[in-house]
Amino acid sequence: MGDIVRHNPERKLSDAVEYNGLIYLAGQVAEQLDAGMKEQTEDVLRQIDALLAKCGSSKSRILTATVYVNDMTLKPQMDQAWLAWVDQANPPARATVEVQLGSPETLVEIMCVAAKA
């Protein structure tokens, strides 16, 4: 399937999939799970930056993002990290909802679709 490029195919999933000008990212969680919501979000956004760079894109090209938080009362902390990071000239469509994540210490997970550069 040469028209589809899959990055970091791990045991269950790929971290990023490129097809027809779009980049689909898997849900990213922080590597440092003992950190607070703001730090975990910064960690996740760094990983998204790295994945987008690998696919020849960047945060200015994100189209849509879904942010999952495990506690909606911590959303302002997530937003603080997001606001410091997001390209103010090119903010994506975004939704934030509260769910239970893969482990109790996982506070945030972000999934997005970006256009290639």
Partner 1 sequence: MSDSIKRHHPGASLSRLVECGNLVFVAGTTADNKSANCKAQTEEVLKKIDRLMDEAGTNKSRILWCNVWVSDIREKEQMDAAWQAWVDPDNKPARATVESRLATPDTRVEIMMICAK
Give the footprint of partner 1 on this chain (CB under 8 A).
1, 3-4, 6, 9-17, 19-20, 24-27, 66, 68, 99-102, 109, 111, 113
Write the DSSP symbol of residue 111: E
Nearer to partner 1, 8 or 32 (CB): 8
Closest approach of partner 1 to the CB of residue 14, in Å: 5
Dihedral over Cα of 11, 116, 52, 108: its sign = negative
Closest approach of partner 1 to the CB of residue 101, in Å: 6
User: What size, in residues, is the chain?
Assistant: 117
**In contact, 73 and 107? CB cutoff 8 Å:** no
Nearer to partner 1, 6 or 116 (CB): 6
Nearer to partner 1, 88 or 103 (CB): 103
Nearer to partner 1, 89 or 99 (CB): 99
Closest approach of partner 1 to the CB of residue 95, in Å: 12
Encoding tokens for residue 21? 């000008």
Encoding tokens for residue 9? 């195919």
Nearest CA-CA partner of 42 in 4, 70, 81:
81
Closest approach of partner 1 to the CB of residue 69, in Å: 10
Beta bridge partners of 112: 65
